[in-house]
Amino acid sequence: MAHKLTTDEMHRLSIDEFHQSEKTPLTVVIDNVRSLNNIGSIFRTADAFRIEQIVLCGICSTPPHREIHKTALGAEQSVDWVYFEQTTDCLCTLKSKGYKIYAIEQVDNSIKLGSQEFALHFGNKIKTPIAIVLGNEVDGVQDEVLPLCDGALEIPQYGTKHSLNVSCAAAIIMWELFKILQR
C-alpha cells in the first residue's frame, strides 16, 4: 500500500508564494450564490488551479466568514477576490478590460463541454482573458446578465436532473478551461 503524500512532499505553495505566482488567466464571477459552503468550495477549487480572481456579486457573502472558511480551508486567503453589488456592473468592468465572458448556463446556442464546437472555439491559444459566470443555486445566471456575456458554456448531462450543484459545475468548468489556458 502506498502512503499518502504530505504537503511538503507535494511541494505546495505558501500563501505568499501563491500570491506571487503566475495565475491562470481566468476570473470566476459568482452571481448571487446563497450557500456559503458553495462559495468556500469554489474558492478551494480556484486555489487548486491558481485562478486569477473570484468576483462575488449580489447576495454572496464575503470572506472572512466562518462558514466560507469551513469548505475553503484557507483558500479565501490565497485567491484574490472582489465584491460587486450588481453582477451587471462587474461584467461591464470586465468587458472594459478586454475579457471574454461566458455564462455557465443552459441556453440557446450554448457550447457543450467536450463537443466539436467547444474544441473549435477553444482550440487555439486564447489571447484574451476569460471570465465565467456561475449562477444562483435555484435560478441560475440572472436573465439581465446573459446579454452581457459573449456566450454560454454547458456541461452535458445524461441523467434525470437538469443541473449540477454550482460548486461541482465550477470545478468541472475550471478544470476544462485550466487545461486549455495552460497550453
**H-type helices in 25-155, by residue range?**
36-48, 66-72, 75-78, 87-96, 116-122
pLDDT above 90 coverage of the chain, percent: 83
Helix, strand, coil % over all residues of the chain, rounded to 5? 35, 20, 45
**8 A C-beta contact, residue 48 and residue 78:** no
Q: Tens digit of pLDDT for each residue in 31-57?
A: 999 999 999 999 999 999 999 999 999
pTM: 0.94
Query: What pLDDT is attached to residue 2?
Result: 87
**8 A C-beta contact, residue 174 and residue 26:** yes
- To the nearest 10°, report the CA torsion of 147, 95, 23, 166: -20
Fold assignment, 21-181: Alpha/beta knot (3.40.1280)
Q: Tens digit of pLDDT for each residue in 77-120?
A: 999 999 999 999 999 999 999 999 999 999 999 999 989 989 88
Q: Alpha-carbon distance 32 to 34, whole Å?
A: 6
Q: What is the mean pLDDT of the chain?
A: 94
Whose grid coordinates read 480572481?
53
C-alpha grid cell for residue 100?
471574454
- Asked whether the predicted pLDDT for residue 124 surpasses 80, the reply is no
For the segment 113-138, the average pLDDT, to the nearest whole number, is 88
- Asked whether the predicted pLDDT for residue 16 surpasses 80, the reply is yes
Q: Alpha-carbon distance 132 to 153, whole Å?
A: 9
The better pLDDT of the pair 124, 170 is held by: 170
C-alpha grid cell for residue 4?
499518502
C-alpha grid cell for residue 36?
456559503
Query: What pLDDT is attached to residue 70?
Result: 96
- Asked whether the predicted pLDDT for residue 125 surpasses 80, the reply is no
Instruction: Tell me the domain boundaries of the chain.
Output: 21-181
Q: Alpha-carbon distance 32 to 4, whole Å?
A: 37
pLDDT above 70 coverage of the chain, percent: 99
